[in-house]
Amino acid sequence: MSNVLITGANRGIGLELAKQYAARGDHVFATCRNPGAADALNELAGENLTVLELVPTNAASVAAVVDSMAGTGVDTLINNAGTPGPAPDQQSALSMDYDGWLETFNVNTLAPLRVLQGLHPLLKQSDNAKAITITSQMGALDLNWPTMYAYCSSKAAVNKVMRMISVELANDNIAVGLIHPGWVQTDMGGEQADISPAESASGIISVVDNINLDNTGCFMKWNGEPHNW
């Protein structure tokens, strides 16, 4: 049994991850910005799943969650919350919503590190600690598809941040991994996407199970294949 903390667990891939981790007997700290409106998540609350309010962009909120956990160790952190950023025609080469780009970086790049830093003392208590970030193929430098500049650059940046921190956290026996979840049928991915949240989450959980200090800093696809950087 592992303690798993997930951000953005109220819908989409995060909700499905919470459901599947709890179903297999792990204890899930399922966090979201607004638990009062998280009906689907609240229905899962019980012995294996605790719903907590966590705003990943807010340092005080992260600190409050760590306090409320009263020293409970965390084995697996999954930084899942993310935003696509401004409308596609407002994050292109010649038309950019710069405030929206900053906010996209705040959510997709800064927040995963902020949450990881806050949880660091709790991760250090585990003898099998993992800090995972759900990134995107859109952050891969070798993907020559010029679209969604804010989103793509925020995911490329979080890849670099997590790749660097993997070197440093190895000293604390914390493994770090980046996972592309596939093109998934969520609010973000749209109905026409390739796979369901259940398929994506089940693949992600298998990939997380295989992340350790020997492959720390890896960039993987949900189906277990390595991803190009």
Ligand X SMILES: NC(=O)c1ccc[n+]([C@@H]2O[C@H](COP(=O)([O-])OP(=O)(O)OC[C@H]3O[C@@H](n4cnc5c(N)ncnc54)[C@H](OP(=O)(O)O)[C@@H]3O)[C@@H](O)[C@H]2O)c1
Residues that bind ligand X (CB under 6 A): 8, 10-14, 32-34, 56-57, 80-83, 107, 134, 136, 180-181, 183-184, 186-189, 193
Residue number with CB closer to ligand X (66 or 184): 184
Among 28, 29, 221, 76, which Cα is nearest to 140's? Answer: 221
DSSP secondary structure string, 180-226?
E--SBSSTTT-TTSSB-HHHHHHHHHHHHHT--TTSTTEEEETTSPB
Task: State phi, psi for 45 to the nearest 5 degrees.
Answer: -60, 140
Residue number with CB closer to ligand X (4 or 107): 107
DSSP character at residue 34? -
Q: Name residue, tokens 């295989």.
A: 210
Least distance between ligand X and beta carbon 201 (Å): 9
Residue number with CB closer to ligand X (47 or 187): 187
Least distance between ligand X and beta carbon 71 (Å): 25
Residue number with CB closer to ligand X (66 or 152): 152
Least distance between ligand X and beta carbon 219 (Å): 12
Least distance between ligand X and beta carbon 9 (Å): 7
Least distance between ligand X and beta carbon 164 (Å): 19
DSSP character at residue 109? I
For residue 42, the one-letter residue type is N
Residue number with CB closer to ligand X (14 or 217): 14
Q: How far apart are CA 148 and CA 96, in angstroms?
A: 10
